[in-house]
Structure 1
Amino acid sequence: LSIFGDAVIYKDRSTIEDKWSAMANAWFDGKDDPNVSIIRVTPKDTYYWDTKAGKLVSLISFVAAAVTGNKTDNSDGVEGNATV
């Protein structure tokens, strides 16, 4: 997924307190970690790429191509503009 837009970075304690979730603990040492910030993006343009076959089948295809030296078949992909 590619998102192009305007971003605002919040480092104030009230916004961090309001938006904090337990999942954020995987990356930070709590809400008071000096590296914590909140980034809000207002999208202007979005684009996505995906595979029809699924991630596991695509991974196996890429590994097989790397081992054999052959090119992988990328024709099974889907792509387009993402809309909200």
Structure 2
Amino acid sequence: MSKSSLGLQQMLLRTHPCNFTVTFYPGKEIPVANALLCPYLPEEDTAMQKEIESYVNSVMMLLPISNSRVKKLKQETTTYTQMN
């Protein structure tokens, strides 16, 4: 997982306790695919970074997860990224 983009890693950690059915769609049919699968963008691209953060925040608000669980996931994500 360490070779995945940061956005994809965060999404995987947040959705880990959920059960999903995965359906393949070509990337051209998914408007957010590039934001999730592209390599992490440098800090200089603030417009794209804000757009990605906005999307992640909107997904987070819709997840049935407690604030304490989100806090724990953030801590674990930070620990994991510092180790790699």
TM range (shorter): under 0.3
TM-score scaled by structure 1? 0.22
Task: State the TM-score, normalized to the length of structure 2.
Answer: 0.22
* Structure with more helix by fraction: 2
Larger RCO (CA under 8 A, 6+ residues apart): 2
